[in-house]
Amino acid sequence: MPEPAKPEVDDVVAANSRGQRVVFPHRAEYFASMRALCADSFTMLVDLTAVDYLTYPSGPGSRVLPEGVVAERFEVVVNLLSIARRERVRVRVQVPTDDANIASLFDIYPGSEAMEREVYDMFGIVFIDHPDLTRILMPEDWQGFPLRKDYDQGSIPVQFSGDFAARRVPR
């Protein structure tokens, strides 16, 4: 059920997910939209994360995006909170895989610093103009980005389960 957007973020596609307000700015207008939302009393950035939609099933019924939003592999999801109005809004931005970068929100919300580093660490999305974009959870010499869907989960061989003998580490 579409919901009319607030005038401050007028040109941004808005929608409603399970009763929660969601806006879908384009990557180019992301920073400006966030600035507008911050001015519109959404002064706290509660959460910033990303989703890798690489293996998401396609077809009707799955991954509903409002009209005008082109689906890309990555999606950066930002949850904002307005303490004054006791409201929340979620911002979802599409980020393509061949050019995985997006503006950093550090200048608007300094609290995004660690969260953007985590998303960089886990998904390899580069936040432009982030003051200290380094790995935060993984070791700094780690190869690859673990929460990407094409990153293998890995497992420890378990005795008596299928291919245990084949996967056993030789001494």
Partner 1 sequence: MSTTDILAAIEGGNEPAQGLRPRGVLTARELMREVGAVLRMSEAEVAKLGDLPEDPSEDQTMIINMGPQHPSTHGVLRLMLELQGETVLRCKPIIGYLHTGMEKTAESLTFMQGGTNVTRMDYVSPLNNELVFSLATEKLLGIEGDIPERAVWMRMLLSELNRMSSHLLFLATNGMDLGAVSMMIYGWREREEVLRFFQKVTGLRMNHNFIRPGGVAADLPAGWRDDVLRLLELIPPRLAEYDVLMTGQPIWRERLQGVGVITAQEAIALSATGPTLRGTGIAWDLRRGQPYLHYDELEFDVIVGSYGDAFDRYSIRLNEVRESIRLVHQILDRMPGGDYRIQNKKVTPPPRARIDESMEALIHHFKLFTEGFKVPAGEVYVAIESPRGEIGCYIASDGSATPYRLHVRAPSFVNIQCLPHMMRGGLIADAVAIISSIDPVLGEVDR
Binding site for partner 1 (CB under 8 A): 17-18, 20, 43-47, 49, 51-52, 56-57, 61-64, 77, 79, 83, 86, 88, 90, 101, 106-107, 109-115, 118, 122, 124, 126-141, 143, 146-147, 153
Minimum CB distance to partner 1, residue 11 (Å) = 23
Minimum CB distance to partner 1, residue 71 (Å) = 13
For partner 1, give the closer residue by CB, 11 or 129. 129
For partner 1, give the closer residue by CB, 10 or 63. 63
How is residue 161 annotated by DSSP?
S
Minimum CB distance to partner 1, residue 114 (Å) = 5
Residue found under tokens 């596609």? 13
Residue found under tokens 């009763």? 19
For partner 1, give the closer residue by CB, 27 or 88. 88
Element (H, E) at 99: none
Residue length of the chain: 171
Residue 157 is encoded by which pair of tokens? 């061989």
Task: Report angle CA 95, 148, 14 to the nearest 5 degrees.
Answer: 35
Minimum CB distance to partner 1, residue 13 (Å) = 16
* Contact indicator for 105, 129 with CB cutoff of 8 Å: no
